[in-house]
Copies of this chain bind each other. A is one copy, B any other.
């Protein structure tokens, strides 16, 4: 799941909830990891990876996560975009090891 967001300038409480959601997602079955970054312009891109669509949907429907999303729409986001995408190939490059499929 690719989640692109623009935070409002007055997004009070956002960082705590984002950290809490990241921690909580990691306790769900099928969670594979998360990559995220937010730049100085307030735009953030967060990708969370799940073994199956059902695993992702269990997290999507988690009541604490649903409540956080509702708060996000009310208090934190100017806009957001969601893209549900199926990873077909992946690779990692490191200075030491070169490119390897993952």
Contact = CB atoms under 8 A, between A and B. Distances in A.
Interface in A82-102: 82-95, 102
Interface size class of A (residues with CB under 8 A): 20 to 34
Contacts of A44: 37
Chain A interface, >50% SS class: strand
Interface string A26-38: 0000000001111
A19 to B, nearest CB: 13
Interface of A: 2, 4, 35-39, 43-47, 73, 77-95, 102
**Shortest beta-carbon contacts, A-B, top 10:** A85-B85, A37-B37, A45-B45, A37-B39, A83-B90, A84-B89, A4-B35, A85-B87, A79-B94, A37-B45
